[in-house]
Amino acid sequence: MITEEKQKNSGIGHFWSLGFVCFLAYTACYWGRGILSAMIPQILEQTSFTKESLGLMGSAFFFTYGIGQLINGFMGDFVKAKYMVALGLFLAGLVVCLFPLFESVLVMTILWGLCGLCCSMLWGPLSKVIAENTTERVGRIFMTLLTVASLVGTMGTYIIAIVASGGSWGFAFYLTGAFLIISAILWFISLGVLEKRGLVKYMKYHAEGEDNVFKIILAPSFLLMTMVALINGIIRNAVVFWIPTYITEKLLVSTTVAASISTFLPLVNLLGTFMGMWMLRRMHDNEEKVTMVMFAVSTLMFVLMFVLDGSLFFTTVLALFISSGAMIGASNMIFCIYCLRFTDTGRVSAITGLMNFTGYASASLASFIFTGIVETKGWNTTVASWAAISLVGGIFAYLAAKSKEKKVIPTSNCNYHRS
Question: What is the CATH classification number for the domain harbouring 86?
Answer: 1.20.1250.20
Question: What span, in angstroms and rounded, lies between the C-alpha atoms of 395 and 219?
Answer: 18
Nearest C-alpha neighbor of 176 from the set 95, 241, 110: 95
The pTM of this model reads: 0.74
The sign of the dihedral angle between the CA atoms of 155, 158, 159, 160 is positive
Domain range for 267 is 4-418
SS3 166: coil
Number of domains in the chain: 1
The dihedral region occupied by 206, where left means phi > 0, alpha psi between -120 and 50, and beta the remainder, is beta
Amino acid (1-letter code) at residue 246: Y
Residue among 86, 87, 80, 99 at smallest CA distance from 33? 99
pLDDT of the chain along its 419 residues, tens only? 555 444 444 444 556 888 899 999 999 999 999 999 889 888 988 888 988 898 889 888 888 988 898 899 888 888 899 999 999 999 999 999 999 999 899 999 999 999 999 999 998 899 888 888 888 788 888 988 888 898 889 888 888 888 887 788 999 999 999 999 999 999 999 999 998 888 788 766 544 445 566 677 777 888 899 899 999 988 887 677 778 788 888 888 887 787 778 778 778 888 998 899 999 989 888 889 999 999 999 999 999 999 998 888 899 999 999 999 999 999 889 888 888 777 777 677 888 888 888 877 787 777 778 878 888 888 889 899 999 999 999 999 999 888 754 544 444 344 444 44
CA pair distance 192, 189, nearest whole angstrom: 5
Q: How far apart are CA 277 and CA 92, in angstroms?
A: 31
124-149: b or e for each residue (b if 16 or more CB lie within 10 Å)?
A: bbbbbbbbbbbbeebbbbbbbbbbbb
Count of other CB atoms within 10 angstroms of residue 296:
17
Report the chain's terminal Cα–Cα distance, integer Å: 14
275 Cβ partners below 8 Å, 6+ apart? 325, 329
Query: CA torsion angle for 236, 41, 382, 386 (degrees, to 10)?
Result: 10
